[in-house]
Amino acid sequence: MIEVKIVEDKKGFFDAVRIREKVFIEEQGYTNEFDEFDYKSLHAVGYINNQPIATARIIIKDQVGKIGRVAVLKEHRKKGYGKEICHKLLAVAKEMKIKSFTLSAQIDKTNFYESLGFRKIGNPYLEDGTEHIEMVMNI
């Protein structure tokens, strides 16, 4: 059973960073994984037996929430943990009266985001050498 926590301290933030390093840098080969939004975002980390296994963040700007950096360690994928992380962030944002959400999805992950209620808009584009597409959800 996964326990999803909103990051409130340096340890939680470091747990999120380690997951993102493993998934996006080591596994997927990205080089520009971290940005200026990391310190302005709301992060969530999922734990199993106190071990961090999944993370995501949401940036809130102008009453719009942007989900991003959704990452689940390889050995824990396909078990619904990514959805649980996203549901937690969306619930917290809804409590903050956020009603519109966006994200930039890797093309092969769009089914995952559609299952959360997002829909594709616009045309695919390259971001760091990987094809992405914008997605939105309004509450």
The overall average pLDDT reported for the chain is: 94
Residue 67 CB partners (closer than 8 Å, separation 6+): 56, 57, 58, 86, 89, 90, 101, 102, 103
DSSP character at residue 134: E
> pLDDT for 31-63, tens place per residue?
888 888 998 899 999 999 999 999 999 999 999
* pLDDT reported for residue 92: 94
Residue-level pLDDT at 55:
98
Query: Taking 90 as the threshold, does the pLDDT of residue 129 lie above it?
Result: no
Domains parsed from the chain with CATH numbers: 3-138 (3.40.630.30)
Residue type, 47: Y
Query: What's the pTM value of the predicted model, to 2 decimals?
Result: 0.92
What is the DSSP-derived secondary structure letter of residue 21?
Answer: I
Amino acid 139: pLDDT: 83
Residue type at 66? K
What is the reported pLDDT for 24? 93
55-102 pLDDT tens trace: 999 999 999 999 999 999 999 999 999 999 999 999 999 999 999 999
Three-state secondary structure string covering 99-133 = CEEEEEEEHHHHHHHHHCCCEEEEEEEEECCEEEE
- What integer pLDDT is reported at residue 94 of this predicted model? 93
- On whether the CB atoms of residues 100 and 135 are closer than 8 A, the answer is no
Name the residue with tokens 């960073």: 17
Question: Are 33 and 130 contacting, i.e. CB atoms less than 8 angstroms apart?
Answer: no
Encoded tokens for 99: 């009603």
In the structure, what pLDDT confidence band is assigned to residue 12 with cuts at 50, 70 and 90?
very high
